[in-house]
Chain A
Amino acid sequence: MTASFFIRRIAYGLLLMLGVVILNFLLIRLAPGDPAVVIAGEMGGIDAQMLAAIRADYGLDKPLPTQLWIYLSNVVQGNLGESFFFNQPVATLISARIGPTILLVLTAQVLSIVIGMFLGVIAARKPNGPLSGFVSVFATIGYAVPVFWTGIMLVILFASVFPIFPVEGMRSVRLRDAGPIAQFFDVAHHLVLPAFTLAIIYLAQYARLSRASMMDVLGSDYIRTARAKGATEQSVLFKHALRNAALPILTVAGLQFGNLISGALLVETVFNWPGMGRLAFDSILRRNYPTVLGVLFFAAAMVVAANILTDLSYRWADPRLRGRE
Chain B
Amino acid sequence: MSALLEIEDLNVTFNTRYGAVTALDSVSLHVNAGETLGVVGESGCGKSITALSVMGLIPSPPGRIAGGSIRLNGEELTTASPARMRAIRGAEAAMIFQEPMTSLNPVFTVGAQIAEAIMLHQKVGADQAMRAAVALLDRVGIPSPDARARDYPHQLSGGMRQRVMIAMAVSCRPKMLIADEPTTALDVTVQAQIFDLLNEIQRDFGAAIVLITHDMGAIAEMADRVAVMYAGRVIEGATADDVLDHPQHPYARGLIDCIPNIAKGDAALREIPGVVPPLHLLGAGCAFAARCAHANNRCHTEKPKLAAHGHHPAACHAVQEGRI
Q: Are B95 and A222 in contact (CB under 8 A)?
A: no
Q: Are A222 and B86 in contact (CB under 8 A)?
A: no
Contacts of B97 in A (CB 8 A): 221, 224-225, 228
Contacts of A240 in B (CB 8 A): 105
Contacts of A225 in B (CB 8 A): 97, 103-105, 165, 168
> Does residue B143 face the partner (Cβ distance < 8 Å to A)?
no
> Does residue A317 face the partner (Cβ distance < 8 Å to B)?
yes
Q: Are A222 and B105 in contact (CB under 8 A)?
A: yes
- When C-beta atoms are compared, the residue in chain A nearest to B171 turns out to be A229
Q: Of B114-122, B224-232, B282-290, which stretch is located at the interface?
A: B114-122
Q: Are A318 and B107 in contact (CB under 8 A)?
A: yes
CB-CB under 8 A for A224 and B57, given A229-B89, A229-B117? yes
In-complex Cβ contact of B94 among A221, A222, A226, A228 (8 A): A228
> Does residue A62 face the partner (Cβ distance < 8 Å to B)?
no
Chain B proximity mask over A162-181: 1 for CB below 8 Å, otherwise 0? 00000000000000000000
- When C-beta atoms are compared, the residue in chain B nearest to A321 turns out to be B154
Docked pose: A285 CA to B106 CA in angstroms? 52
Docked pose: A318 CA to B106 CA in angstroms? 8
> Does residue A8 face the partner (Cβ distance < 8 Å to B)?
no
Q: Are B90 and A244 in contact (CB under 8 A)?
A: no
> Does residue A73 face the partner (Cβ distance < 8 Å to B)?
no
Smallest Cβ distance from A119 to chain B, in angstroms? 22
Q: Are B89 and A244 in contact (CB under 8 A)?
A: no
Docked pose: A228 CA to B59 CA in angstroms? 12
Contacts of B99 in A (CB 8 A): 221
Q: Which of B87, B105, B168 has the most CB of A within 10 A?
A: B105
Q: Which of B97, B103, B121 has the most CB of A within 10 A?
A: B103
Q: Are B88 and A230 in contact (CB under 8 A)?
A: yes
Docked pose: A222 CA to B168 CA in angstroms? 13
CB-CB under 8 A for A222 and B90, given A228-B57, A319-B152? no
> Does residue A188 face the partner (Cβ distance < 8 Å to B)?
no
Contacts of B86 in A (CB 8 A): 230-232
- When C-beta atoms are compared, the residue in chain B nearest to A247 turns out to be B107
Q: Are A229 and B105 in contact (CB under 8 A)?
A: no
CB-CB under 8 A for A317 and B55, given A221-B97, A230-B89, A230-B120? no
- When C-beta atoms are compared, the residue in chain B nearest to A241 turns out to be B105
> Does residue B43 face the partner (Cβ distance < 8 Å to A)?
no
Smallest Cβ distance from B15 to chain A, in angstroms? 12
> Does residue A243 face the partner (Cβ distance < 8 Å to B)?
yes
Interface range on chain A (Cβ under 8 Å from partner): 20 to 34
Contacts of B89 in A (CB 8 A): 227-230
Q: Are B95 and A244 in contact (CB under 8 A)?
A: no
- When C-beta atoms are compared, the residue in chain A nearest to B98 turns out to be A221
Smallest Cβ distance from A151 to chain B, in angstroms? 38
Smallest Cβ distance from A325 to chain B, in angstroms? 10
Q: Are A229 and B107 in contact (CB under 8 A)?
A: no
Docked pose: A80 CA to B155 CA in angstroms? 49
Chain A proximity mask over B137-169: 1 for CB below 8 Å, otherwise 0? 000000000000000101100000000010010
Contacts of A219 in B (CB 8 A): 59
- When C-beta atoms are compared, the residue in chain B nearest to A223 turns out to be B105
Docked pose: A127 CA to B37 CA in angstroms? 38
Smallest Cβ distance from B86 to chain A, in angstroms? 5
Q: Are B106 and A224 in contact (CB under 8 A)?
A: no
B residues 62-101 near A (Cβ < 8 Å) are 86-91, 94-95, 97, 99
Docked pose: A243 CA to B152 CA in angstroms? 14
Chain B proximity mask over A234-261: 1 for CB below 8 Å, otherwise 0? 0000001001100000000000000000
Contacts of A227 in B (CB 8 A): 57, 89
In the assembled complex, 7 residue pairs joining A and B whose CB atoms fall closer than 8 Å, in A order, are A220-B102, A228-B57, A229-B168, A230-B89, A230-B120, A231-B86, A243-B107
8 residue pairs, one from A and one from B, having the closest CB atoms: A229-B90, A230-B90, A229-B117, A230-B89, A221-B102, A319-B152, A222-B105, A221-B103
Question: Contact residues of B with A, CB < 8 Å?
Answer: 55, 57, 59, 86-91, 94-95, 97, 99, 102-107, 116-117, 120-121, 152, 154-155, 165, 168
Question: Contact residues of A with B, CB < 8 Å?
Answer: 219-222, 224-232, 240, 243-244, 317-320, 324
Give me 15 other A-B pairs in contact (C-beta within 8 A), A222-B104, A228-B57, A229-B168 excluded: A219-B59, A221-B97, A221-B102, A222-B103, A222-B105, A224-B57, A229-B90, A229-B117, A230-B88, A232-B86, A240-B105, A244-B107, A317-B107, A319-B107, A319-B152
